[in-house]
């Protein structure tokens, strides 16, 4: 058994059945998977971990996803949008502290006023940092024109999680209407690629009704789409969402956490040169969750630089960490924490996806 497993770890290309064995690994095998993923990361990408300071721009959302705490129908939360000067301050904080890149993430809005505000912010950020701060957007599904305008204004990476690549599961997690359409989301990912963005996607792990086979499909989906970046993490229940009703169906949070780490490690074996984020949802279950992901294949971390007064209102799920810390506090401990994982922070560098660069040379 051990022998078969070690031969899978050494494969150059993987079948669905191989990926399933990796995702089912436990004990010594799981440990060997994590070590192999770390070895690949260190040899292909190196020991640098890159920062993406995340600004949670707004929790106003026109969508109604059944799992998400900031869904439109949740009347219990206070809606906010960070003001322009506050966004600029946060971006300059990231720039001065040599974070290299920021992510602007938001609930989904498509109004002309919203599109224009983001465009103006992107232009200001580019001007104030001499184009030296990398900018990723995570603002959901938009028109081609919008994606193009934002690209022209200075965004160069885009994160849009498919959430689940299985249509049936996707349908179970979203209202059945034009605004929550699987094909539309997929088309957006293809548009982003066409426009020249570095494209990231990802899924939630441990969803009610989700099987290991579904997760294998997710990994193959990412490979097939030839993504440059991935952000994925455990599904975490939120009391004020419809999916909370299905909580009896869930594995324990610890099991979802373990499975998420195995997804990170397996993806690193499957796509050796992409950027993989150690996501905040991991940290919500285990205070050292992100560090653990950095030890088994992840190479990106997203420190929260949202102005403190808004933090508690961007509650996608329960137990979201870091909601009461100011950005500086997070930074001082992060550097030490990352060193302890055997990695170094790539200060002041964009840390673009190696995969994207390799593709461009073809």
- For ligand SAH, the binding residues (CB under 6 A) are 67-68, 105, 107-108, 138-140, 160-161, 163, 204, 233, 235-236, 238, 281, 316-317
How many angstroms separate the CA atoms of 148 and 127, rounded? 19
Query: Based on CB atoms, which residue is closest to ligand SAH, 184 or 344?
Result: 184
CB of 146: closest distance to ligand SAH in angstroms?
13
Number of DSSP helices (H) and strands (E) in the chain, helices first: 15, 10
CB of 203: closest distance to ligand SAH in angstroms?
7
CB of 50: closest distance to ligand SAH in angstroms?
19
Query: Based on CB atoms, which residue is closest to ligand SAH, 32 or 285?
Result: 285
Query: Based on CB atoms, which residue is closest to ligand SAH, 28 or 239?
Result: 239
CB of 98: closest distance to ligand SAH in angstroms?
25
Instruction: Indicate the helix (H) or strand (E) that contains 212.
Output: helix 212-225
Residue number with the shortest CB distance to ligand SAH?
140
Residue 215 to residues 166, 186, 250, 288, 362: CA-CA distances in angstroms? Answer: 9, 17, 15, 24, 30
Q: What is the CA radius of gyration of the chain?
A: 19
Q: Cα 39 vs. chain centroid, distance in angstroms?
A: 22
Q: Tokens for 100?
A: 């290299």
Cβ atoms within 10 Å, residue 113:
8
Query: Based on CB atoms, which residue is closest to ligand SAH, 101 or 129?
Result: 101
CB of 12: closest distance to ligand SAH in angstroms?
30
CB of 74: closest distance to ligand SAH in angstroms?
11
Instruction: Indicate the helix (H) or strand (E) that contains 87.
Output: helix 84-96
CB of 166: closest distance to ligand SAH in angstroms?
14
How many angstroms separate the CA atoms of 222 and 227, rounded? 6
Instruction: Indicate the helix (H) or strand (E) that contains 146.
Output: helix 144-152
Query: Based on CB atoms, which residue is closest to ligand SAH, 133 or 316?
Result: 316
Q: Cα 288 vs. chain centroid, distance in angstroms?
A: 17
Query: Based on CB atoms, which residue is closest to ligand SAH, 33 or 282?
Result: 282
Angle at 158 between CA 121 and CA 215, to 5 degrees: 150
Query: Based on CB atoms, which residue is closest to ligand SAH, 209 or 348?
Result: 209
């Amino acid at each position: 058994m051990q022998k078969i497993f070690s031969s899978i770890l050494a494969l150059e290309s993987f079948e669905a059945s191989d990926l399933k064995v990796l995702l089912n690994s436990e004990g010594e095998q799981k440990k060997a998977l994590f070590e192999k993923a770390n070895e690949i990361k260190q040899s292909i990408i190196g020991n640098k971990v890159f920062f993406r300071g995340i600004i949670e721009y707004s929790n106003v959302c026109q969508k109604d996803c059944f799992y998400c705490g900031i869904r439109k129908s949740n009347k219990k939360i206070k809606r906010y949008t960070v003001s322009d000067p506050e966004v600029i301050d946060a971006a300059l904080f990231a720039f001065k502290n040599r974070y290299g890149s920021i992510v602007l993430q938001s609930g989904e809005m498509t109004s002309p006023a919203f599109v224009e505000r983001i465009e103006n912010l992107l232009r200001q950020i580019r001007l104030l940092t001499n184009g030296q701060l990398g900018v990723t957007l995570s603002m959901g599904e938009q028109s081609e024109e919008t994606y193009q305008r934002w690209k022209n204004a200075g965004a160069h990476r885009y994160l849009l999680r498919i959430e689940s690549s299985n249509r049936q599961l996707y349908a179970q997690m979203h209202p059945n209407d034009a605004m929550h359409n699987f094909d539309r989301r997929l088309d957006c990912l293809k548009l982003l690629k066409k426009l020249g963005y570095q494209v990231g996607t990802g899924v939630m792990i441990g969803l009610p009704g989700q099987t290991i086979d579904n997760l294998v499909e997710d990994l193959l989906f990412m490979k097939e789409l030839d993504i440059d970046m991935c952000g994925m993490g455990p599904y975490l229940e939120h009391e004020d969402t419809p999916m909370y009703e299905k909580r009896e169906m869930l594995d324990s949070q610890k099991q979802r956490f373990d499975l998420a780490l195995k997804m990170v490690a397996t993806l690193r074996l499957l796509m050796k040169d992409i950027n993989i984020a150690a996501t905040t949802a991991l940290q919500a279950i285990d205070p050292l969750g992100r560090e653990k992901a950095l030890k088994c294949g992840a190479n990106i971390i997203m420190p929260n630089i949202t102005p403190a007064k808004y933090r508690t209102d961007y509650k996608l799920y329960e137990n979201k960490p870091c909601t009461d810390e100011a950005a500086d506090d997070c930074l001082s401990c992060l550097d030490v924490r990352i060193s302890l994982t055997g990695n170094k922070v790539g200060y002041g560098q964009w840390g673009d996806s190696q995969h994207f660069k390799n593709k461009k040379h073809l």
